[in-house]
Amino acid sequence: MPDLQIPLILRMLTQHAGIGSNTIIVAKPLVLAFGGVEIPLALAKVERSDLYGFVEVETLDEKGRKCVLAALAEDGKSIIPPGGTAIASLSPEGNWLEKKSLIPTDTQGNRIAPVASSYAAPVNVEKTACIEEYLSHDIRAVYQISSEGNWGALLDELKKGTIYTFPYSFRGGLEPDAGFLLLAADGTPFLAVGSPTQLEFVGLEQSAAVAEEEEGARESEDSIDFGML
């Protein structure tokens, strides 16, 4: 990860909060409403690369020069570099349509009302989730949270093992993600963001239809090694 040019004041804040200086700070706070108190939270995303490092793949030609990926068009000679294509929306007649004029609907044809960003107004934190409900979600991002506000009551609940859940949307959109407030095993409070999955209980009659899977592109006894790169 390239060295981020973090302004001095942000660097001081991250050191005070005990957050790694190589993590990305989300500037606008997420305000939670808990027990009648509004709590501004600072979020710092924690990624796998922050904990274990990361892998870059370098591609070299026969002369040892670096190569990059591009796309070859159907004519077999036009090479399209990254950024050389665009996605367009067309009407049934093939006319150009502006994205902002399009209307999102569900499969029944009902208009989908977009959700607002969670940063637009304080988010009520009162609903709790059990461990199974949390485990039924695919977690795609985790944020280490901190606050300069009065959040002792919320922290106490998290220390008891309570998991709070609320709809979370960073910039607004068609469907919010599920946000979970919980305390990690090392005592650090986190916001985990994920989406629900289609788990279902199956009986004898519902056997799986197994197909050939297409090949995709894409310890110790006491501790589990996650640094496998």
Partner 1 sequence: MGTINIANSKGRDAVVGAQSVLKPMRVRWVDEQGRQIQSVRLFMADLSHDLAALEARAGGRDKIAQALIDGDPEIDLETCGSVLNQTRRVFIDPDGQVVHEVRQFEIIKNPDGSERERRPRKVAQPNAATETPLKWSGKLMKKKDVYNKFVFSGKRQIMHVNGLTYDFLFGMARELEESESLLLMGAGPKGNEPLVLTRGGQQFRGFLEGRTQGNKYCLILHLSNMELKAAPVQTACE
Say how far apart CA 85 and CA 78 lie, in whole Å.
Answer: 12
Between CA 155 and CA 41 the distance in angstroms is 12
With respect to partner 1, which residue has the nearer C-beta, 27 or 185?
Answer: 185
Q: Scan for tokens 């309570």, then name that residue.
A: 162
- Residue list 108-127, contact with partner 1 (CB under 8 A): 109, 112
CA distances from 141 to 46, 52, 64, 94, 191 (A): 8, 16, 37, 38, 8
| Residues near 58 by beta carbon (within 8 Å), at least 6 away in sequence | 66
CB of 32 to partner 1, least distance (A): 19
Can residue 155 be called a binding residue for partner 1 (CB under 8 A)? no
Establish if 46 lies at the interface with partner 1 (CB under 8 A): yes
Residue positions counted in the chain:
229
Is residue 199 part of the contact set for partner 1 (CB under 8 A)? yes
Query: Which residues 168-197 are close enough to bind partner 1 by CB under 8 A?
Result: 174-175, 182-186, 188, 190, 192, 195-197
- Shortest gap between Cβ of 171 and partner 1 (angstroms)? 16
**Residue 151: CB minimum distance to partner 1, A:** 17
Per CB under 8 A, contacts with partner 1 among 48-107 are 48-63, 65-74, 78-81, 83-92, 97, 101-107
| Residue 128 in contact with partner 1, rule: CB under 8 A | no
Stretch binding partner 1 (CB under 8 A), from 113-121, 131-139, 147-155, 164-172? 131-139
- Give the C-alpha separation, 196 to 140, whole Å: 11
Cβ 14 to partner 1 shortest distance, Å: 8
Cβ atoms < 10 Å from Cβ of 151: 21
Burial annotation 95-111 (CB, 10 A radius, 16+ → b, else e): eeeeeeeeeeeeeeeee
Q: Is 207 in the site for partner 1 (CB under 8 A)?
A: yes
